[in-house]
Amino acid sequence: MSLNEIKPINCSDFVFLLGGQDLEMVEIKKILESLGMTFFDHKLHWGAKLSDYSNRFDDIHTFLGIELIKDISPPKHYIDIDHHNEKVGLPSSIEQVAELLGISLTHHQRLVAANDKGYIPAMEALGASREEIMKIRELDRESQGITDEDECLAEQTIGQCATKHADVLIIESLTPKFSPVTDRLYPYEKLLIIHKDKLVYYGKEVSLLVHHFKPMIDQHQAYYGGGENGFFGIASAHFSNSDIQSYFKPEILKIVSNG
């Protein structure tokens, strides 16, 4: 079932299943709470799976999974809400929820949507002030569970663990949370961040990586989003740090770097 098959009325049988925690998910939860909608929030992280909610399924309700990897067969009545990977061209998840429920987003929520869909450039395109952008990014990091220690480690990372390969900035991060690193480095053109078994590339030429690693994306071993100059990542727990360093890092650098 798709969103186009649903009218923004008679939503009493809907049950929303919330995905990984970030600012967009926090705002979606606020919307659902304000409207008295039924939802479950298991406080998941990036890479949240549908199986995390398998004990909630029944054949009566229509379940709406928000940014959940379908690692199991969905319940009988199921709607997938997402804007990553094969759904990258769709509106943000909060915009899809608003359309489904027949409501308008506030200015703050539109900035949240832009941030999640296209990071700082998308907020700038909406005319957001520097103060608004900094506040949205701060709230997003807070929603992701970024700690003061992560912020400090990000500072150390940038000062101690940055190298260059041609036109690509490479960061061997001291923290597994990358947003405090990217926020401090913005604006950048080509950025590769690695921490143990986690790797994410940000910036130009993302489409080349999406094309090259398409089979992995289809197997949920990699992911992408954020538009033309967005991000591409290797899903954690699928590969070791040795795999990241010996194969993925040089392969990605070969594809995206000039020189």
**SS3 annotation, 131-200:** HHHHHHHHHHHHHCCCCHHHHHHHHHHHHHCEEEECCEEEEECCCCCCHHHHHHHCCCCEEEEEECCEEE
Whether the predicted pLDDT of 6 surpasses 50: no
Which tokens is 71 given?
């690692």
> What's the pLDDT at 1?
52
Q: What is the pLDDT of residue 236?
A: 85
Tell me the β-bridge partners of 38.
15
pLDDT for the residue 65: 98
Grade residue 199 by pLDDT with cuts at 50, 70 and 90.
very high
| C-alpha to C-alpha distance for 111 and 105, rounded to whole angstroms | 10
> Which pLDDT score, from 0 to 100, does residue 10 have?
59
78-81 vs 62-66, strand pairing mode: parallel
Q: How high is the pLDDT of residue 7? A: 46
- 227: exposed, middle or buried (C-beta count within 10 Å: 0-12, 13-18, 19+)? middle
Query: Would the CA dihedral through 117, 227, 170, 172 be positive or negative?
Result: positive
pLDDT of 169 over the 60 cut: yes
pLDDT (tens digit per residue) in 32-71:
999 999 999 999 998 899 999 999 999 999 999 999 999 9
Residue 111, pLDDT above cutoff 90? yes
Q: What is the pLDDT of residue 9?
A: 45
Full strand arrangement of the beta sheet holding 231-234: 162-165, 168-172, 190-195, 198-203, 231-234, 222-225
Q: For the chain, where are the alpha helices, taking DSSP H only?
A: 23-34, 93-101, 107-125, 130-143, 148-160, 179-185, 206-212, 214-218, 241-243, 249-256
Residue 258's pLDDT is 81
Average pLDDT in the chain: 94
ω into 180 cis (within 30 of 0): no
Dist. CA 24–CA 29, nearest whole Å: 9
221/234 Cα distance (integer angstroms): 6
Which residue's structure tokens are 């995905």?
A: 19
Tens digit of pLDDT for each residue in 209-242? 999 999 999 999 999 999 889 999 999 889 999 9
pLDDT for 218 equals 94
Closest of 170, 183, 174, 171 to residue 137, by C-alpha? 183
Note the pLDDT of residue 250: 98
- Report yes or no on whether pTM surpasses 0.85: yes
Domains, the chain, with CATH or none: 3-125 (3.40.50), 148-256 (3.10.310)
